[in-house]
Copies of this chain bind each other. A is one copy, B any other.
């Protein structure tokens, strides 16, 4: 019934493990089924297939799907062709059973989206933001944006995902020392927003939200466009990401390993490893800008020499975008080799200024250095960071680690 108050402790994909009790077990299995149904798209899946994929007995699947049906999350979707006996009745996720909100706090703009359970944008809102004006003003802006997105007649909201720049403590929901904005250091953004909004709030780095968007794009591709509402504010966000979801060699439920590379005033990476965002021991993973690519190269503001960031931004400064793309490509190839990455997504202002140059440039280096020429796939980050933030809020239903 009350699916918001799920028991806390169960196995994270990358965090500490906790004990599992009966409610947590139920939640895990329900999330698993929902995740499979989400990956199946509007065509749906039969109970037998769900049983085979989860490893549960058909009877258990029937009980679980009955509960989900009572909650309105799942509905019947016709029958499949018979395989020699009674045809299986297909079950489909009801995308409008719940919604979630994602907010992207950037340095000068705020963008917020409301998405359905398939991750599709149902409504969006946004406007200018002066990040330097301090946390209080930003909180007000977020509260106003969420209020505009809220629909009293619509389905309940699962939560709000907030993507913010710079270092921050994901667990505590506290901002870190954002370069150039000292007033934000230590601000408990998650707690404050939860108090103001009365909804669960997740706070994470914008690059991690980008990685979540990259992983979620795979799933979104299995669902048709919702119809009217279209993403407008995402400047230069071309959907070069319509690769066929099938035949990816994956069991289902999205790509195994995605990397989101952000090239803006700095360089950052979001890592989606094995079905969840990887944050490292102290939420500091993804430091991509200061990977050394040229030993004893030009000095960087970080103190080292020959970092990706210096090399790339120098190339950008002298107008050599193909050169910058090559630099990013070499660093990306290092990362792809190290982590066995499936997909590389590119985003950020510099990329948006010349998307084709970067996709081609990075793709060329990756193809030259990859062992498997078909991998990894390089694409533009079609979905914005706000969509990724919303995606993270959806994980309370689909069970991926948050």
A interface, CB within 8 angstroms of B: 8-11, 13-22, 25, 28-29, 32, 35, 54-56, 60, 250-251, 253, 255-257, 269, 271, 273-275, 278-288, 290-295, 297, 303-304, 311, 327, 330, 333-335, 337-342, 368-369, 371, 399
Contacts A269-B338, A280-B341 supplied; 4 other A-B pairs, CB < 8 Å:
A11-B13, A13-B13, A13-B14, A282-B340
Query: From A256, which residue of chain B is reached at the shortest CB distance?
Result: B281
Q: Is the CB of B333 within 8 A of A54?
A: no
A341–B8 Cα distance when bound, in Å, is: 27
Whether B292 and A333, one on each chain, are in contact in the complex, defined by CB atoms closer than 8 angstroms, is yes
Identical subunits present = 2
18 contacts between A and B (CB under 8 A): A8-B55, A10-B11, A13-B14, A14-B274, A17-B399, A18-B55, A19-B29, A20-B28, A255-B281, A271-B339, A273-B273, A273-B278, A280-B341, A290-B369, A291-B338, A292-B334, A293-B293, A295-B327
Partner of A330, one of B17, B283, B285, B292: B292
> Pick the contact of A54 from B19, B275, B368 — CB < 8 Å?
B19
Q: Compute how far the CA of A333 lies from the CA of B290 in the bound complex, rounded to whole angstroms.
A: 10
CB distance from A386 to the nearest CB of B (A): 25
Interchain CB contact (< 8 A) of A291 among B8, B16, B304, B334: B334
9 nearest A-B pairs in the assembled complex, by CB-CB distance: A280-B340, A14-B274, A19-B54, A256-B281, A9-B55, A19-B56, A287-B337, A285-B340, A284-B340
Establish whether residues B32 and A337, one from each chain, have CB atoms under 8 Å apart when the complex forms. Answer: no
Contact of A335 among B15, B20, B338, B371 (CB under 8 A): B338
CB contacts (< 8 Å) of A56 on chain B: these are: 19, 21
Residues on B with C-beta less than 8 A from A60 are 19, 21
Complex CA distance for A291 and B333, rounded to whole angstroms: 8
Instruction: Select which of B18, B274, B285, B294 is within 8 A of A338 by beta carbon.
Output: B285
Knowing A55-B8, A273-B273, A290-B337, say if A20 contacts B25 (CB, 8 Å): yes
Main secondary structure of the interface of A (DSSP, over half): loop
When the two chains form their complex, are residues A281 and B257 in contact, meaning their CB atoms are under 8 A apart? Answer: yes
A249 smallest CB distance to B (angstroms): 8
| B55 pairs with A32, CB closer than 8 A | no
Chain B's nearest CB lies how many Å from the CB of A282? 6
B contact residues around A274 at 8 Å (CB)? 13-15, 278
Which of A257, A335, A337 has the most CB atoms of chain B within a 10 A radius of its CB? A337
CA distance A275 to B29 in the complex (A): 23
Query: Cβ of A333: which chain B residues have Cβ within 8 Å of it?
Result: 292
Whether the pair A273, B19 counts as a contact (CB closer than 8 A) is no
A163 CB, nearest partner CB in chain B, Å = 19
Contacts of A250 in B (CB 8 A): 281
User: Does the CB pair B330–A287 fall under 8 Å?
Assistant: no
Set of chain B residues within 8 Å of A303, measured between Cβ atoms: 368-369
A288 nearest CB across to chain B (Å):
7
Q: Is the CB of B294 within 8 A of A294?
A: yes
Q: Which of A60, A279, A304, A341 has the most CB of B within 10 A?
A: A304
* Residue picked from A20, A287, A290, most chain B C-beta under 10 Å: A20
Most chain B CB inside 10 Å of its own CB: which residue of A28, A253, A255, A283: A28
Docked-complex contact A369 and B304, CB < 8 angstroms: yes
Which residues of the other chain, B, contact A294 by a CB distance below 8 angstroms?
293-295
Contacting pair B55 A284 (CB below 8 A): no
CB distance from A16 to the nearest CB of B (A): 5
Chain B residues with Cβ below 8 Å from A283 are: 340
From residue A201, how far is it (CB to closest CB) to chain B in Å?
A: 22
Partner of A16, one of B18, B253, B280, B293: B253
